[in-house]
Structure 1
Amino acid sequence: MNIAYSPCPNDTFVFHAWAHGLIPGAPELNVTYADIDITNKWAANAEGPEVMKISYAALPWALTDYKLLPCGGALGRGCGPLVLTNGLSSDAGNAASLSGKRVAVPSERSTAYLLFRLWASRHVPGGIGEIIVMPFHEIMPAVRDGKIDAGLVIHEARFTYPSYGLTMLTDLGSWWEADTGLPIPLGAIIARRSLDSDAIAGWIRASVDYSWTHPGASQAYVMQHAQELSPDVAQAHIDLYVNAFTSDLGENGYAAVTALLGRAAEEGLVPSFDLSLLR
């Protein structure tokens, strides 16, 4: 079975057991490691592999051909994207200072960017000046070096941004949780509708359970793809993004996804679609 997910520690932790043939009855995986911006585009054009990790924000473009799986993704509390500015700026903590400025984001269809747009519509008078899409690992250096005014960051940047001399302007996850009372939907696992989604979900859950039961088994695989992260940062990344929602979205998880995409559709940020397709 062909699958695409990122090289980030949470994804390699989740899929380690399946990718290494440790799940009885599961088909062999042919893994493509791809940035979320790439898989979001593949999903929208029905060009990707049978199973993929994409942003929840990209689902409205994908649900005709792909089904959202109830496990394997990233959704939780205290794990949202951050808006960062150069710590030397006198208005680094002022949201209104982003009016008319240049902001880098990791993908135009990322959940991070969707949350940012929902937040900015309420907090940045006049709106953002220019949005620049760049790979997430390039964003913090660009903010530090003054190439852009602010950056929207995800993943392990939550733990490493102080080393770049940057200041957190806002935590979009905290804003979303305070505004809705719901967890933050970040990354989704989807499978082609022609496949047995229940079987695939079962194999994913078994892979997650294996990594939880054998916490050291995935370490070499995780670090092989961890993009020069230290083991401590990689583990902090896993601890934050792999949680009970990874095993099962549950009612709170589905409520969070429905709230995010329903609100975005109402504001014209994503195409309108039948929300029942999320189930």
Structure 2
Amino acid sequence: MKEIIKLILKYHFTIIFILLEIVSFSLIIRHNEYQRAIFSESASILFGNISAIATDVKNYFRLKETNESLANENILLKNRLEQYELSRDTIVQGTFMQDSIPVYEYIGAKLVNATFNRTKNYLTLDRGLKNGIWKEMGVCSPDGIVGLVQDLSGQFAIVIPLINVDSRISAKIKKNSYYGSLQWDGVDYRYSYLNDIPYHVEVNEGDTIVTSGLSKIFPEGITVGYVESVDKETANFLKIKVRLAVDFKRLDYVYVILNNKKNEQTGLEAINYHE
């Protein structure tokens, strides 16, 4: 208390001056309509800006919660879409079944670790065996294909992304359905290469590359990337540089793809393709 009194005594002239300024300012505003209107408008603008800043700060700290909510909603919508398409197909065929199971379902996951600057990059997801994830499941994001589950534990999964030199997926040119093998060259995380496309195929810059559907991992038609350039590799094949749809340095939430009919297809192929 003594320190406060000393402080007041030390700066009493300054304090009195500030108080008189406030009183004078108050009297001017109170007894002059024009100044009162200006002050009211300025105060409204000031408090409006403060309120906007406070709202932005509040929303910033809620981004994680908002992103998780949107990711969960997207998963729900994707699974409902798969169920709808199954129901539509069975109704058209006249064989509607209430308990029909869609071919593909989606499990939400969040990226918790990743590498980008190696030739063999990996991603870690916060979902594992306990969440219904198994090896060789496909992984995608809202933008496109991410990679393939390689290993996992109860609560985590390791993914080989497209930016790993050991990664190979079947992809095709959307406009004409010619398909080949997508493989990364280990140089730039933004680009990969589509190989084994015949020399005579028409491919133009900007053409969309999608999954071919010729595997038990990815549904057909998921975006992989866009043609950046086309070069002649040999006399028979083109070398197509693909700008990947997914920006791996901004990746956050992903979908793990469950193929409900994978085991049935694998078993049938093992019997018929066995030599």
TM-score (norm 2): 0.23
More helix by share: 1
Which structure's CA Rg is the greater one? 2
